[in-house]
Amino acid sequence: MNIGSKVYHYEEIDSTNLEAKRLSEQGAENGSVIVADRQTEGRGRRGRIWESSNDGNLYFSLLLKPDFEVQKSSMLTLVMALAALKACEKVSDTKLQIKWPNDIVAGGKKLVGILTELNLLPEGGYQVIVGVGINVVKQDFPEAIAEIAVSLEEASGKVIAKEDLLKEILAGFEELYLQFCKDGNLGAMVEEYNGKLVNNNQEVKVLEPTGEYTGHALGINEEGELLVAPIKENGEADMENVRKIYAGEVSVRGIYGYV
Ligand code: BTN
């Protein structure tokens, strides 16, 4: 398998994640990349829309057909977050951070979003589509996200070629992915990931479907779960009852806002 050995490019498509699924049904190979200049139905996490009308930005999806157990596939989001962060840092020469599990932020604002979708295949096995949206060029963001969004050009003051950025991400992802497949976990990446984690050693608000609480974030473990020590009534972190937070339904915020 070679990541990006086959690249499907569109000027405009509904969503590269949707197109990846369609192409897979027509036999597209493991490691294929689907990239579009614009999306008419760009999809974000939790059913949100990913604004995709600016063709200076990068919108792409990676189609993967892994051999490992399906339960491990959600960790691929974190693998992509680390690969995308390293590539964005390299091409822009700017330090960036990750907001667990998979947003990349610059100066507390969101630069990259990742939507990982899983499809069980009728013939058995499964596929994972990792969709990545990156704000590359300076732009006027829609009012609803203007306060929390930023572009790589704004963050770095540099003009970035999105084609170069894509190449860097795919090369970096392949390296991390092969390591992940070998280890079956994120062990080899934990230190680097935690070093980039904006929430690390910070107080966070954990929003669960059943309620919310404040805790002290301690970084991820090798399964990609965020370790959080709840804050006791006396204001101290309860290190005896550290919780493991699994991305799915839970979201984590800084206590004062988005990060
Ligand atoms: C998020 O909500 O943070 C995730 C956003 C993911 C957007 C990307 S753009 C390319 C791919 N195609 C989609 O429809 N969504 C993802």
Task: Summarize pLDDT for 23-72 with one digit per residue, the tens.
Answer: 999 999 999 999 999 999 999 998 899 999 999 999 999 999 999 999 99
- Please state, in angstroms and as integers, the Cα–Cα distance from residue 21 to each residue in 33, 90, 149, following that order: 11, 30, 28
Average pLDDT over residues 145-163: 95
**Could you give the angle at the alpha carbon of 125 between the alpha carbons of 124 and 126, nearest 5°?**
125
Atom of ligand 1 nearest to the CA of 102: 3
pLDDT value of position 249: 62
pLDDT, tens only, 183-224? 999 999 999 999 999 989 988 988 888 888 899 999 999 999
Please give the Cα distance from 149 to 105 (Å, whole number): 9
Atom of ligand 1 nearest to the CA of 110: 3
Beta bridge partner(s), residue 215? 204, 230
132: number of Cβ within 10 Å: 28
Q: What is the mean pLDDT of the chain?
A: 93
Q: Minimum mean pLDDT among 87-96, 141-150, 248-257: which range? A: 248-257
Contact indicator for 198, 98 with CB cutoff of 8 Å: yes
Q: Which residues contact 118 (CB under 8 A, 6 or more apart)?
A: 70, 73, 74, 126, 127, 128, 129
Atom of ligand 1 nearest to the CA of 103: 3
Q: Which residues contact 100 (CB under 8 A, 6 or more apart)?
A: 197, 199, 217, 220, 226, 247, 252
Q: What separation in Å is there between the alpha carbon of 40 and the centre of ligand 1? A: 12
Q: What separation in Å is there between the alpha carbon of 128 and the centre of ligand 1? A: 14
Residue type, 176: L
Contact indicator for 181, 188 with CB cutoff of 8 Å: no
Neighbour-count burial of 231, counting CB atoms closer than 10 A to its CB (0-12 exposed, 13-18 middle, 19+ buried): middle
User: In 3D, which of 94, 126, 99 has the Cα closest to residue 112?
Assistant: 99
Q: List ligand 1's pocket residues with C-beta within 6 A.
A: 15-17, 39, 42-45, 48, 50, 59-61, 103, 113-115, 131-133
